[in-house]
Structures are given as structure tokens and as C-alpha cells.
A and B are shown apart, each in its own frame.
Chain A
């Protein structure tokens, strides 16, 4: 049995408190009115003399604009008011998608009757425990956004929709009620599978005669995977793609899936290595780590394949209504947009290619941390351009939100690890898995 050390508990609480305070200060420091935005921008411009003068001209130009001088400031005001919300949303979604990726991986291990992974099942079950609090938080944020408490989703703003033919045409799908109902169905289905998968796994421990519970696990896993691939796809339209309601991409669901899948596998590897280093998983050998690292490597490349397929098709045909998505990202998010390619593709490609390196714990940990940071930036790139635009910055709000959810994630996952023995001893593939050797 794993016992949650007080240091880890304290660490996760500190993360949550620091993150919570930072996030609240992020909310408090958003400007309330156009006047405040003007002051902030003036103060910012005053830092550099030459720059300030240029900005002054820039401001004057806008004042002469046909649509009124304050339109620009109002635009910035909305972006700045969105900033802590978007930071909260990105972090909430990022940690939720890790747990969801692990759940999909777990179901695949059952459906594929994998012989290597049963020793890791309890680690995976513990990570998916985050689905419950993470899913509830995400649902609340989505409900708030869907009913326009904040301005995260422009389609939720009735004023915007009234002047926008394109969104009006999509209102059959993109409306607050449908949005919430779908979110409830997605989350409900995933949590239901998670609940029964864990329950059957524990039952199999107690009574493994005839593998009755194992067979049930197998069946619900196969069923869940069918449900998952539909709902995951729709989830990506609702929760990510609808930030840009004028834009659409057909492989978006797969792209988000690759991102959450590789983050989930990386997290399994990191937590397994941590627990192994503490002496809790004596039956896990470096072949298991090698297999996880192979998955990290392979799915990283799969993610890149989808990223590139999406980017290249749109870049190549250059249809104005589609290509704006990437133009805003390349113009305003150059470093995160291309930096994540280095972190999610080139780095794992070179570091995890060598078979020997995939067995070296610190190599896997290093690659894993870079991959996780890279996929945070991936979500950041998907959400931020539509919510805060050029006013983006990875500052207090963003870092605090990550710390808050990291603390919650660590606390929930490691507390879930204490709930059951770390070896799923009733699993029929356990012996094979214990002696797994590659």
C-alpha cells in the first residue's frame, strides 16, 4: 500500500494556495473600464521613450478611425478581462485532458489485452481519479462561459450573435443549453466508465475465479472506446474549436486526441518513475519504462503528423476564411507556436530515439517534462488567440492557474493511490506483466 507522505500533501496544498492567491490577484488586476486600459497602456508605453512616442501616434490614428476612438480600447479591455479566465480554462483543461488521456490509454490496454501493462494499472486508475474533481471544475467553467458570465466564447454573447450571420448559422449547435447538455453527456459517460472500470478492477482482486470481473472490464472498455472516440471529437469542437466559431478543421478532434493521449502517457511514465524511485513498485522494471517511453516517442510524432497535416493543408490552399486561424497565431504567437513544435517534436524525437536512453529514468523524466510543457503551450495556442489575442503573456495568472491545478492534480492522484494496493493482483495478465522483458 502506498501512503501519502506529509511532505507531498503539504507541497500540493502550498501549490494550490499559491496558485489560488495568484489567480485571484490576476482577476483583481484586470481593468474594469476603458479609462483603466488607457492608463495601463500609457504607463506601459512610458517605459521606453522612443516607443512611447510611436505608440502615441498609433493611438491618435485610432482616434481618427471611422468606428470611433474607443473601439480599440474596448477590444483590449475585453481581451484583458478574458485573460485570467482563459488562463484558468487552459490550466483546467490541460490537467483534465491528462486524466482523460490516461483513461483512454487504460481502456486500450484492456481492449488490446496488453500483457505488459497490468502492473501499471493502479497508477493509471489513480491518475484517472482526477477526472472527477477536474471534470466538475471544468463543467462549472464551461457552464459559466456557455451562459456568458465571462467572454470566453464569443458565440455565447447574444449581442455578437445578433450581428454575425456565420454564428447565427451555427447556433443550432453552438448555444448555451446544447453546450451544457453535451458537456454533461461527455463527462457523464467518461466518469461512468471510470467508475465501473475501477470497481471491476478491485472486484477482480478479491475474486478472480473465472475472470468474471476481468471479462466485464474488457467489455466495458471496448464499449467505452467507441463512445470515447465520438465524444472526444465532439468535445474538441465544443471546448476548443468553438473559441474560433468562424473557423473549422475536420481533423481537429484527432489533433486534440493526440495531444491528450501523449500527455497522459507521459504522466503515467513520470508518476511510475517517481513511485519506483520511492520503492513502491518493485515489480516494475526498466522494460516497462522503455515501453512507456516508446509510446511517448511514437505519439509525439503522431501529434506532429496531425499538427502538420492541419497546418500544411490550410497553409497550402490559403483560403482566407480558414487561414486566418494560422495567420493570427504566426503573427502574434510566433514563439509559442513554433516553440511547441521544438518541445513536442524535435526534442522527444532526438532524445527518445535511442533504445538505451528510453531505459534511463532521468532521460525519460526530462523528455516527459518538456513534452508536458509543450502540450500546455499547445492548449495555450489553441485557446488564447481567440480569447486574449495579442494581449497574451505567460504571467502571474497563467502560472498561478497551472500551480493551482497542479497542486490539485497531485493531491487527488496521490491520495487515490493510497486507496488500493499498487499491484492489481487478480489480473490474468499479471504474471506476464511482472516478467515483462523487452
Chain B
């Protein structure tokens, strides 16, 4: 099934922000906005929910801490409690200060790396991924707003977008894509 979307191009992020607010207040559905750089407040204007990446990072950090504690406890205390330079290897807590650097680093390591991998997976980024760029100029100096024109009056929508300061408006017949 083919769907109709409108691509409106802007050359200024302030104009874009106003346009997003206007289009949202008219209850059109914004499919996507493509920008060359992060526009402060755009997510809020589009009504996107907060990211939960920080929460995953906290949980990954807890996993890293657990891994470090389990590993050091098993190796240094349970499996082979050697006397190394007189360090007390009778229980984990007695020798804990020596393990703290490892515990700290593994917490950070797990939190950072797993969060980054989560980010790649959630935003579908990987090497050899085909770029989903609708217009090459959006990586340089143009902003593109993609509005769903499904069962709206295309002319009314076009004139609304023109009013918001769009420099170029295209009606695109999109083949039902797979994203």
C-alpha cells in the first residue's frame, strides 16, 4: 500500500521549531524531522517521550558491579585464597578495598558500553546500514519535516506548510517501507 507524505524543507531551526508547533496544533501527524544538528527543544515541541537510556545505563552498571564482586570473590576468596603480600583473603569484606578499583571500572565499563550498544540497537545503527536520508541537504544546512498526508486534504496541508516558512514542499508517494 502506498502512503502519501509531504516533505517540507526549512533552512532555519527557529522557523522549523515554529512550524513543528503549528503543524502539531493543527493535529497533523509529523512522521519524522531530519536535521543536520541537534535542535534544542525539538523533541519537546514534537511531543516525543523521554529517553530511557539513562535507566538502562543504571541497570547495566549494577550488572557490572555484580560481575566484579562475584568474580573477585570467587577468584580471590573462595577458589584459591592465597596469602599475597599479607593481604587478608579470609573474607570478601576484609580485602574489599583492593577490589574497589576493579569494581568501579567494571561498573563504568558495563554501564557505558552496554548503553552505547543499546543506543545502536534502538536507533538501528550499524556498519553497512543503508542511510535513510530523504534529501542529502538535510545533513548540511536544511531541515526536513515529513508530515503524514494520508487522508488529509493535500492542498490545505501544503498551504499551511507554506505559511510556516517552508522553502520547498514535495508530495511523496511512499511505498510502504519496512521501518
Contacts and interface: CB of A to CB of B under 8 A. Distances in A.
Nearest to B41: A437
A308 B86 contact: no
**Which of B54, B58, B97, B100 has the most A CB atoms < 10 Å from its CB?**
B97
Nearest to A350: B58
B98 A318 contact: no
A311 B98 CA distance: 11
Contact of B100 (A308, A353, A355): A308
A311 B86 contact: no
B97 A311 contact: yes
Contacts of A308: 97, 100
Contacts of A311: 97
A269 B141 CA distance: 42
Contacts of B98: 312, 316
Interface string B79-111: 000000010000000000110100000000000
B54 A316 contact: no
Contacts of A316: 97-98
B58 A353 contact: yes
A318 B86 contact: yes
Contacts of B97: 308, 311-312, 315-316
B55 to A, nearest CB: 9
A316 B101 CA distance: 12
Given A312-B97, A312-B100, A316-B97, A355 B54 contact: yes
12 contacts: A308-B97, A308-B100, A311-B97, A312-B97, A312-B98, A312-B100, A315-B97, A316-B97, A316-B98, A318-B86, A353-B58, A355-B54
A303 to B, nearest CB: 15
Interface of A: 308, 311-312, 315-316, 318, 353, 355
Contacts of A353: 58
Contacts of B86: 318
B146 to A, nearest CB: 29
Give the contact-size bracket for chain B: under 10
A82 B54 CA distance: 50
B87 to A, nearest CB: 8
B40 to A, nearest CB: 10
A312 B97 CA distance: 6
B76 to A, nearest CB: 14
A294 to B, nearest CB: 14
Closest A-B pairs by Cβ, 7 of them: A312-B97, A315-B97, A316-B98, A308-B100, A312-B100, A316-B97, A311-B97
Contacts of A315: 97
A316 B99 CA distance: 11
A353 B107 CA distance: 15
A355 B98 CA distance: 32
A4 to B, nearest CB: 41
A335 B15 CA distance: 60
Contacts of A312: 97-98, 100
A315 B97 CA distance: 8
A363 to B, nearest CB: 17
A316 B100 CA distance: 12
A311 B54 CA distance: 31
A315 B94 CA distance: 11
Interface string B157-176: 00000000000000000000
A311 B100 CA distance: 12
Nearest to A318: B86
Nearest to A317: B85
B52 to A, nearest CB: 12
Contacts of A355: 54
B160 to A, nearest CB: 29
Nearest to A313: B97
A316 B84 CA distance: 12
B69 to A, nearest CB: 15
Given A308-B97, A312-B97, 6 more contacts: A308-B100, A311-B97, A312-B98, A312-B100, A353-B58, A355-B54
B167 to A, nearest CB: 30
A251 to B, nearest CB: 16
A318 B58 CA distance: 35
Contacts of B54: 355
A259 to B, nearest CB: 20
Contacts of A318: 86
A312 B95 CA distance: 11
A161 B97 CA distance: 36
A229 B58 CA distance: 35
A437 to B, nearest CB: 9
Nearest to A311: B97
Contacts of B100: 308, 312
A353 B100 CA distance: 20
A315 B54 CA distance: 35
A113 B36 CA distance: 30
A180 B86 CA distance: 44
A113 to B, nearest CB: 21
A130 to B, nearest CB: 36
A308 B101 CA distance: 10
Interface in B97-139: 97-98, 100
A349 to B, nearest CB: 11
A312 B96 CA distance: 10
B70 to A, nearest CB: 20
Nearest to B86: A318
